[in-house]
């Protein structure tokens, strides 16, 4: 990770998958202080960020149910995860727009 993550708080971090600009990694901090990593495939971050809050749990269950198990275990609410994903997507869009403006 060369730049700062797209999103980070005490329990969640979202960034690009190394050597990729379209796949992402979701990190969930576990009670032992280690970060569990989950791949979010191309296009999923955008889709989750644009979904109404009520629909994201079902969508995540379809592509990686382990994420739901992890956030429940670490006492992170689905709304907290959704906010993190929305913030990460907005940061990604801001960075893209900044690069376009620099060209």
**Over 90: is that where the pLDDT of 35 sits?**
yes
Q: Name the percent of the chain lying above pLDDT 70.
A: 98
- Where along the chain do its domains lie? 7-102
Has residue 71 got a pLDDT over 90?
yes
Segment 1-23 shows an average pLDDT of: 88
Residue 41 CA to residue 39 CA, distance in Å, equals 6
Token pair 């992170």: residue: 76
Q: How confident is the model at residue 1 (pLDDT cuts 50, 70, 90)?
A: very low
Residues 6+ apart with CB under 8 A from 26: 12, 13, 14, 37, 38, 39, 40, 67, 85
């Amino acid at each position: 990770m060369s730049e700062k993550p797209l999103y980070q708080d005490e329990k969640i971090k979202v960034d690009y998958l190394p050597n990729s600009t379209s796949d992402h990694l979701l990190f969930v901090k576990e009670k032992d202080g280690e970060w569990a990593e989950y791949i979010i495939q191309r296009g999923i971050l955008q889709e989750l960020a644009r979904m109404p809050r009520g629909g994201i749990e079902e969508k995540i269950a379809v592509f990686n149910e382990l994420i739901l198990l992890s956030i429940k275990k670490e006492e992170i609410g689905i709304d907290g995860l959704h906010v993190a994903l929305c913030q990460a997507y907005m940061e990604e869009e801001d960075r893209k727009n900044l690069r376009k403006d620099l060209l």
